[in-house]
Chain A
Amino acid sequence: KQEVTQIPAALSVPEGENLVLNCSFTDSAIYNLQWFRQDPGKGLTSLLLIQSSQREQTSGRLNASLDKSSGRSTLYIAASQPGDSATYLCASPQGGSEKLVFGKGTKLTVNP
């Protein structure tokens, strides 16, 4: 059974800092891994989707990597801004199914 873990649960950084959010998963036979952003009281916004055949994906200041052998993914945010403050969630399908399994998220606060 796929289990997804995100550590730390919360992170506070000063504006301008580069940072890395971590995601680990137990089933390395994944199809893909997806990173989401959730603002308070809002829905989930997809940030990046990495297929199992890919090592990384980039969108603007965001870069997500995937290492299936170690069961890890990272989300790198460059030059963080207060507007990046949100909860970041990673998720991957349960092995052999269409059911998405989520980590509990990392709450990021970027201080001006």
Chain B
Amino acid sequence: DAGITQSPRHKVTETGTPVTLRCHQTENHRYMYWYRQDPGHGLRLIHYSYGVKDTDKGEVSDGYSVSRSKTEDFLLTLESATSSQTSVYFCAISEGQYAGYTFGSGTRLTVV
């Protein structure tokens, strides 16, 4: 999607290894989000950021950490990957509560 890119697009990793996913935006939006999408569960919020160095937990934050050192970058880290973290991860950006959300193309992560 224009203005927001996720990397990598696909990744296979082993159980117990750390993994970092990157979200990069060129829109200068204040809010950034990480969601995971799983069959039967839909999209669930992992963490979000409301500014540089300002982050908060979502509903499924256990096992994940985030960092935002620059407006344009929001990193999601799986400290020690588990098979239950196999999922599709989406990043989103927004200007605020009255604005719409724009989503990235997603990262498909497989933990073996």
Contacts and interface: CB of A to CB of B under 8 A. Distances in A.
A63 interface: no
Nearest to A4: B42
Given A43-B1, A43-B105, A100 B96 contact: no
A2 to B, nearest CB: 12
Interface residues of B, number: 24
A32 interface: yes
Nearest to A42: B105
Contacts, number: 54
**Could you say which interface size class chain A belongs to?**
20 to 34
A51 B40 CA distance: 28
- Which residue, of A31, A36, A42, A44, has the highest number of chain B Cβ atoms within 10 A? A44
Contacts of A32: 97-98, 100
Nearest to B50: A98
B48 A89 contact: no
